[in-house]
Amino acid sequence: MTTAPRTAAASLPNTPGVYRFRDERGKVLYIGRATELRHRVGSYWTNLRGRRHLARMVAQIAQVEAVTCDSVHEAAWLERNLLERSKPRWNRIRGGLEVPIYLRIDRKGGVPRLVVDYGPFGPDRPADVFGPYLGGTQARLAMSGLGRVLPLGYTDERLTGAARDMARIRGVDVTDRDAFLAATIAVLQRRPDAVDSVREQLMRQRDRASEGLAFEFAERIQQEIEAVGWLVAEQKVTVLTEPDSDVYGWADDLLVRFEVRGGRLSTWTQRTCRRANAERYLERTPDSWRPFAARSAELASRLSAAHHAANA
């Protein structure tokens, strides 16, 4: 087995992303995602652990390709998008394990509240629908964290018993409703000031719980903090308002191409191409995608160079 793939893996950045293995004929063997690309891809040659079934695949890997993403959530989406288009032999599931969900402001009953909705919704979805997000557990944890800081439910004037007592203890009443709703929507719209405010309040509650030795409660709040981060992280590869477009990046005679169709980046190819020929493709790339495309091409070029050097 050639050492080229392992050498290429060592040149990967330790950032979130999606990787792809090809055999010596160029056929895609496997598509995966990683929180840390270098560590994850390198593990195929060091310790497969619970992935022993992939040992035969590793022996066939001739080339490594990868794309870096701006968040783990974005990497999860890109993996899903690619696998929905085509499932390589060694991938078990077309698409992915996580179920896409939305969060929706439900205004029935007079008191708005945040609820989970499975959609699906198209580009013309209602303004009170946010997402899609991957992972029901993360979305529900984020929803719990938002409710902890912005308790819309306690602004109901019809509260009775324990709920009314809790609202009184927390100093919440119907007059807080509009402010809580506006802040909740601002977080779901990824406004940095709103997100930072919620995170800071959750961290203060977590620290108070730790100081009071309520470690399980503190761990729960920490999970909610991480889930809010997941919710608001960059997810440009699945943006339902993005128009159909072709995205190109070029570096060192290597042209990388992505297709955005129906709001999803779902196809990724690369080929050799001289700069003069690449110009007409690069001009088509929307400005919002240029940093991603350029970064992808630079990484593709680096992996290609490592592959050829190891095989020289």
For residue 95, what pLDDT is reported? 76
The three-state secondary structure class of 47 is coil
Q: CA-CA distance, 123 to 203, in Å (whole number)?
A: 35
Query: Model-level pTM?
Result: 0.89
Query: Is the confidence at residue 97, as pLDDT, over 90?
Result: no
Element (H, E) at 275: helix 275-282
Q: CA-CA distance, 171 to 253, in Å (whole number)?
A: 63
Report the percentage of the chain scoring pLDDT > 90: 70
CA 237 distance to own-chain centroid = 9
For residue 241, what pLDDT is reported? 67
For residue 1, what pLDDT is reported? 45
CB count within 10 Å of CB 283 equals: 8
For residue 135, what pLDDT is reported? 85
Q: CA-CA distance, 156 to 257, in Å (whole number)?
A: 52
For residue 277, what pLDDT is reported? 95
Query: Is the confidence at residue 38, as pLDDT, over 50?
Result: yes
Q: CA-CA distance, 165 to 78, in Å (whole number)?
A: 46
Q: How far is CA 115 from CA 139, 164, 311, in A?
A: 10, 21, 54
Query: Is the confidence at residue 2, as pLDDT, over 60?
Result: no
Asked if 261 and 284 count as a contact pair (C-beta separation under 8 A), the reply is no
Give mean pLDDT, residues 164-182.
92
The three-state secondary structure class of 221 is helix
